Amino acid sequence: QGGFARVHELIDLTTNTVYAGKIIPKNRITKRHHMQKIAREILIHQNLVHRNVVRLHHFFEDTVNAYIILENCSRKSLVHVLKHRNVITEPEVRYYLCQLVAGVSYIHSQHVIHRDLKPGNMFLGEDMVVKIGDFGLATQVDGDKRVTICGTPNYIAPEVLNKLSYSYEADVWAIGCIMYAMLVGQPPFETATLKETYARIVGNKYALPPLASEPARSLICELLQPKPEDRPKLDEICKHEFFTSGYMPESLSPSCCYTMPKFASVALLSRPPQPQSQIICQAPILSQDLKSLTNSVSTLKIPTQKSPNTIAKVACSSPSAGSIIASIRKDRDARQSSLKQKLSSVLCPDKMTLCRKRPNNAVTLYRFLSDCFNKMPPAKPSGSDPSGNPPRVSSVSPLFVSKWIDYSNKYGFGFQLSDKSVGVLFNDTTRMSFTPDRNRVEFHDMHGKVTAHPHNSVPAPLHERLALLQYFTEYMDEHLTEGGDIKHQSQVAAANRHKSTVPHMKRWVRTNTAIIMELCNGTLQINFFKDHTKVIISAEKHGYMVTYINGERLSCSYWLAHISQFSCETNIYDRLWFA
């Protein structure tokens, strides 16, 4: 489903050939420029015939709908691969990227700029061949460069955002973003807000993936050059050392959509990651009123009757890494004294215990954390050998927020937990949740009264909220990646099925540094924006547990009591102090 259309699988009954049918209801085409957009898409796409471009076979209309009959791509798109895999190996990246470049080269040879290249528009055929699709934003080049701002925010080139004239090089920039997304799991400039994302794009601020090979990092830097003329030509990309120095498979098995392929050992030999700290790429910021840009691109449309066209602030829980220590300490110094004064009247420094009956609230957690910092030995440098962290916890997995959407400017705050349950805290303080199996809906009214209903028997007064909950759920399932590699998610889900209610969001707050979320079960989670690490402090059966998820979404858990006794490394220490 897209902005105007729904796509269905169609079968030609005379030949049994399967097609993708894009059906556009005419009652949704309310403005003249909508019709012109659809006509332009058809006129451009129907003339493109290439192995790496989705084929447009036919189009027609009746009094109700317009129909576009397209080549069926049974393996869906690269965004589905990333959804299941999170990241892709470098041999696979070469395979996908080389075909993407071939397709874009052909499109450019037909004087067409795609303007919306992204993983969701890289479709996969039955034989795992890459097919570029969705030409809804494409434009035919007639000699003059374009200035219209359009595209998907995370993949828009800086010259487009700055309303400068642009041409084919904008697609090359998008290829760089796609390569980064395949290696890391999310685009290079993705942040919690459109304004910050646009600021990073025009400032060329992103963190190179630390675990990627040096040739991969080099190619990313070349593709993401802020000046269009400095980016490589399409025919130069596949001649880069990234392609010539590493293995590239001739084909991929469909199982690669869900699991990492097993290449022959000789094929996997490649240069090891460089042992240097992350490299932050930055170019001079181009002059632009970012505030006006925030209103230029719409990224999310809630399909409600009252407000069908709105701009949303969407945040995914796992971009690239970078240092946050300075910002954490700055926030800490500014708030530490006032925070202690506010809480001093209700806190008492009791001796830390692991009583199972302790109340799971912020006041209790603050007391435990304060006692921990008073007792623990000095923190050790991150990456110490041997590790400066206490023994890991492997038998318990925290229930944490794996995905979230801040749409509080219109409706509320949506989130998905690691057991696959989904909830929304609406602006009127009511709450609605799906159980992990999505078969039961729970509703908390403004007075805290809880009612539960089968998914197909929700009372009529709750239908509007249910529609929003369903849309948030579908959007997060489809577009957002998991926020961590917690290995016992199935156990977490099973353990929570017997509980009477799904944990709901008690409250949340955003600062310039992080988003802080508190669940009703006492779990406190902090997602840091600059390097997208997370710290989760959960109240478990045997005491408080601290889980740290790094920028690559790798997690490790420790008992807070053990951190108090043995200390920890500075990357965890600074985030706990922030908490």
In this structure, what CATH number is given to the domain that contains residue 151? 1.10.510.10
Residue 208 pLDDT > 80, yes or no? yes
Q: Which residues of 230-249 are buried (b: 16+ CB within 10 A; e: fewer)?
A: ebbebeebbebebbeebbbb
At residue 146, the pLDDT reads 64
Using CB atoms within 10 Å of the CB of residue 467, give its burial: 0 to 12 exposed, 13 to 18 middle, 19+ buried: middle
Q: Provide the CA 245 distance to its chain's centre, in angstroms.
A: 30
Averaged pLDDT, 386-412 = 87
pLDDT tens figures, 119-173: 999 999 999 999 999 999 999 887 666 667 778 889 999 999 988 888 999 999 9
pLDDT digits (tens, 9 = 90+) for 102-124: 999 999 999 999 999 999 999 99
Percentage of residues in the chain having pLDDT higher than 70:
79
| Residue 562 predicted with pLDDT over 80 | yes
Does residue 336 fall inside a structural domain? no
Instruction: Indicate whether 46 and 174 sit together in one domain.
Output: no
Q: Which of 27, 47, 71 is the last residue of a domain?
A: 71
Domain boundary among 71, 92, 110: 71
- pLDDT for 293: 32
Does residue 18 have a pLDDT over 90?
A: yes
pLDDT band at 298; cut points 50, 70, 90: very low
Q: What is the pTM of this model?
A: 0.51
Report the candidate in 423, 434, 430 with the shortest Cα–Cα distance to residue 461.
430
pLDDT at res. 327: 42
- The CA distances from residue 462 to 107, 361, 429, 442, 453, in Å, are 48, 30, 14, 11, 11
> Is residue 515 over pLDDT 80?
yes
Task: Please report whether residue 176 resides in a domain.
Answer: yes
Residues pairing with 549 in the sheet: 534, 555
Q: What is the pLDDT of residue 145?
A: 66
Pick the more confident residue, 560 or 328. 560
CATH number of the domain that residue 58 is part of: 3.30.200.20
Residue showing tokens 């990333």: 82
The C-alpha atoms of residue 291 and residue 85 are separated, in whole angstroms, by: 35
Does any domain span residue 541?
Answer: no
User: Once rounded to an integer, what is the mean pLDDT over residues 519-533?
Assistant: 92
Residue 233 lies in a domain: yes
Based on the domain organization, do 112 and 58 belong to the same domain? no
User: Higher confidence at residue 479 or residue 60?
Assistant: 60
pLDDT digit string (tens) for 57-102? 999 999 899 999 999 999 999 999 999 998 999 999 999 999 999 9
- What is the domain extent for residue 108? 78-258+271-297
Q: Given pLDDT bands bounded at 50, 70 and 90, which one contains residue 513?
A: confident
Which amino acid is present at 370? S
Of 556 and 486, which is predicted with more confidence?
Answer: 556
pLDDT grade, residue 263 (50/70/90)? confident
CB atoms within 10 A of CB 491: 14
Residue 120 and residue 249 in one domain: yes
Q: What is the pLDDT of residue 264?
A: 62
Q: Bigger pLDDT: 35 or 92?
A: 92
Segments in 299-361 forming alpha helices (H): 325-343
The residue-averaged pLDDT of 465-489 equals 79
- Torsion-angle region of residue 438: left (phi > 0), alpha (psi -120 to 50) or beta? left
Which one of the listed residues 116, 371, 406, 574 is annotated catalytic? 116
Residues 134, 46 within the same domain:
no
Question: Residue 495: is its pLDDT beyond 50?
Answer: no
Identify whether residues 86 and 42 lie together within a single domain.
Answer: no
pLDDT digits (tens, 9 = 90+) for 434-466: 999 999 999 999 888 899 999 999 999 999 999
- Whether residues 86 and 201 share a domain: the answer is yes
Please check whether residues 51 and 167 belong to one and the same domain. Answer: no
Domain-located, residue 313: no
User: Would the pLDDT of 563 be above 70?
Assistant: yes
Please give the pLDDT value at position 423: 95
Q: What's the mean pLDDT in 258-280? A: 54
For residue 29, what pLDDT is reported?
81
Are both 248 and 137 inside the same structural domain?
yes
For the chain, the domain total comes to 2
The larger pLDDT score, comparing residue 305 to residue 79, is at 79
- 28 in a domain, yes or no? yes
**How much is the average pLDDT of 303-322?**
35
**Considering the chain, what is the average pLDDT of its residues?**
81
Q: Are residues 174 and 228 in the same domain?
A: yes
Before 386, cis peptide (omega within 30)?
A: yes
Q: Are residues 59 and 85 in the same domain?
A: no
Please give the pLDDT value at position 497. Answer: 47
Strands 514-519 and 524-528: antiparallel
Q: What is the pLDDT of residue 360?
A: 63
Residue 300 has pLDDT above 60, yes or no: no
Spatial contact of 324 and 550, defined as CB atoms under 8 Å apart: no
Average pLDDT over residues 6-24: 92
* Residue-level pLDDT at 35: 84
Report the percent of the chain where pLDDT is more than 90.
54
Q: Indicate whether 205 belongs to any domain.
A: yes
Q: Contact, 347 vs 367, CB < 8 A?
A: yes
Q: Between 270 and 553, whose confidence is greater?
A: 553
Residue 105 near residue 237, CB atoms below 8 Å: no
The pLDDT of residue 422 is 95
Single out the residue in 44, 71, 98 at which a domain terminates.
71
Question: Are 11 and 144 within one domain?
Answer: no
Looking at mean pLDDT, say which of 95-99, 307-311, 542-546 comes out highest: 95-99
- Residue 502 tokens, joined: 């799904």
Task: Please give the Cα distance from 3 to 33 (Å, whole number).
Answer: 14
Question: Residues 6 or more apart from 178 whose CB is under 8 A from it?
Answer: 78, 97, 100, 117, 118, 119, 122, 155
pLDDT of residue 491: 45
Catalytic residue status for 127: no
Q: Looking at the structure, do residues 56 and 153 belong to the same domain, yes or no?
A: no
